[in-house]
Amino acid sequence: MRKNRFLREAQNVLSQMREIRRDLHRNPEVGMEEIRTSRLVAEYLEDLGIEVKTGVGGTGVIGTIYTKEGGRTVAIRADMDALAMEDKKSVPYASSKRGMAHSCGHDGYTAMLLGTAKILCKFSDCLNKGNVRFVFQPSEDRLPGGAIPMISGGALRNPKVDGIFSLHLDPGFREGLVAVKSGYSAISSAEFVLTMIGKGGHVAYPHRIADPVVMAGMVIVAGQTIVARRVDPLNPTIVAFCSVKGGTANNVVPDEVTLTGTIRTLKPETRDGLARLLEETAQGAAQIGGGDHRLSVEMGYPSVFNHPDMVGEFKNSARKIAGPESVMDVQVPSMTGEDISYFHQKIPGVNWHLGIANPERGFIHPLHSPVFDFNEEVMPLGAAIHAQSAVDFLINRQGRPLTHHSGR
C-alpha cells in the first residue's frame, strides 16, 4: 500500500520538528511570556512565505495560507506555553531555566504545527478549496488562558474561520493511537479558596474560642457528600480539597484556616451549582462552630464540546494517515480542562488525542510530571493528521456549512 503523501513528507520534516521541539524544551517560557518562542514561530512561518501576524492577544502568533478568495477557512491551533515547575529529566534537551519546564507537550504541539505548515506549503495544490490558518496560542496552562485574548485579537477573523482542530498528547493511550470523543470531551473547572473564620485562643479554654480547625474539618467531611449525594452519579464530577493552611503552634487555636481546592464537572451549569453547594456547606459549618467564612471561586475553562459532524469527518481523515485500527472513539470525557473550549464556543471544532505511551522505551510518565517526555518519532503522525484534516475539511465544507453547536 502506498504511503500517504502527507505522512511521507512529515517523516521528511521530522528532523526539523525534533530540532524545534528540543530547542523549545531547553528554553521554556510560561504563559504570556513566550517572547522567544513566538519569535521562533514567526520566523519559521515567514521563511515559508506565509503571512504572519504577531502579538495577537499578547504573545500569540497566527499565520495564514491564502489560496481561494471567498473560500472556507480552517484553523489548526497549538499552545506554546511551559509550566512553572522543575524539569528533572536527564536528557541533553532538559530545561535550562530553573522553575520552568515543558511537561505537557506544548513544545511538541508547536513543532508539529510548524511541520504541518511546511507540508501544506509544499502541497498547496491541495488547498484550492480554501485557506488554512495556523494559530499558535500562549498561556493555555495559566488562567485565565490565552484563547480569549487571541479571539479578541482577531484570530478567527479576516478571513472568517469556519472550523478549528487541535491536538493533545495523551500518555493514557498507546503510542500512535488516535483517540477522539464526540460531544463533551473535557470538563469545565473552577478553583476555590475558602477561609473558615473563628476566634483563636488557648486550647485549655475551648469554651472561649470558635475553632476554625474544626469548622474546616466539617467542611472537608461534609464536602464529600456534595458529589456523593447532591449530583447525578452519571454526571462526572470532582470536588477536591487540595491544601489546608492554618495554625502556628500545637497549643494555640488559630483565628483562621484556609482551604483551597478545585471543582471539575462536565456541564457548565453543574459547575455553578457546585459552587453554590460549597457555599452552603461552609455556611452551615460556620454556624455550627460559631464562626464565619469567606469563599472565593475563580471559574476556569468551560467544557470542551467536539462537533459531532466534524468528529466523524476527522476520523475518516485520521484513518488515511494512521490506519483504521489506530483510530478509536472515546466514550468517557477527560477530567482535565482546556481553553480550546473558548474557540469551540465561537466555531465548530475537534480536539483530539494522540497516544504516546511506550513502556518499552520508558515513556510512561503522566502529563505535568517533572520527568514527562515522549518519543519524538510520533510527531510526523500528528503533523500529517493535521494536514489531512485541514484539506478534507475544506473539501467537505464546499456548499455544506456546519450548524454550530458549542455545547452551552
- Phi/psi-derived region of residue 232, left when phi > 0, alpha when psi is between -120 and 50, beta in every other case: beta
Q: For strand 237-245 and strand 256-265, is the pairing parallel, antiparallel, or unpaired?
A: antiparallel
- Per-residue pLDDT, 407: 64
Residue 203: predicted pLDDT: 96
> For residues 226 and 276, what is the distance between their CA atoms, to the nearest angstrom?
10
pLDDT given at position 194: 98
Rounded to whole angstroms, what are the CA distances from 128 to 7, 100, 122? 20, 42, 13
pLDDT score recorded for residue 71? 86
Output the CA–CA distances (angstroms, integers) from residue 44 to 16, 117, 248, in the order listed: 11, 9, 54
And the C-alpha cell for 213?
480547625
**Architecture (CATH level 2) of domain 188-299:** 2-Layer Sandwich (3.30)
Question: Are 408 and 268 contacting, i.e. CB atoms less than 8 angstroms apart?
Answer: yes
Half-sphere CA count of 120, side-chain side, radius 13 A: 35
Q: Which of 81, 141, 255, 339 is catalytic?
A: 81
pLDDT at position 404: 79
The C-alpha cell that represents 170 in the structure block: 495523551
The C-alpha cell 508539529 sits at: 112
> Is the backbone peptide bond immediately before 144 cis, with ω within 30 degrees of 0?
yes
CB 352 within 8 A of CB 180: yes
Catalytic (active site) residue 255: no
C-alpha cell at 27: 528554553
What does the pLDDT profile of the chain (408 residues) look like in tens digits? 467 999 999 999 999 999 999 999 999 999 999 999 999 999 999 999 999 999 999 999 999 999 877 789 999 999 999 999 999 999 999 999 999 999 999 999 999 999 999 999 999 988 888 999 999 999 999 989 999 999 999 999 999 999 999 999 999 999 999 999 999 999 998 999 999 999 999 999 999 999 999 999 999 999 999 999 999 988 889 999 999 999 999 999 999 999 999 999 988 788 889 999 999 999 999 999 999 999 999 999 999 999 999 999 999 999 999 999 999 999 989 988 899 999 999 999 999 999 999 999 999 999 999 999 999 999 999 999 999 999 999 999 987 778 877 666
Q: Is position 81 annotated as part of the catalytic site?
A: yes
How far apart are alpha carbons 58 and 74 in whole angstroms? 22
> How confident is the model over 99-121, as pLDDT tens digits?
999 999 999 999 999 999 999 99
Residue 402: what pLDDT?
83
Is-contact 37 29, C-beta < 8 A?
yes
Fold of 5-186+303-396: Aminopeptidase (3.40.630)
Question: Domain residue spans in the chain?
Answer: 5-186+303-396, 188-299
Q: What is the Cα–Cα distance from 299 to 162, expressed in whole angstroms? A: 28
Strands 72-79 and 130-137: parallel
What are 177-232's pLDDT values in tens digits?
Answer: 999 999 999 999 899 999 999 999 999 999 999 999 999 999 999 999 999 999 99
Dihedral sign from CA coordinates of 271, 275, 280, 281: positive
What pLDDT does residue 146 have? 98
Q: How far is CA 7 from CA 115, 172, 240, 326, in A?
A: 11, 24, 43, 15
DSSP 369-388: -TT----GGGHHHHHHHHHH
User: How far is residue 30's CA from residue 84's CA, in Å, rounded to a whole number?
Assistant: 7
Question: And the C-alpha cell for 198?
Answer: 473563628
Common-topology check for domains 5-186+303-396 and 188-299: no
Query: One of 140, 141, 211, 373 is an active-site residue; which one?
Result: 140
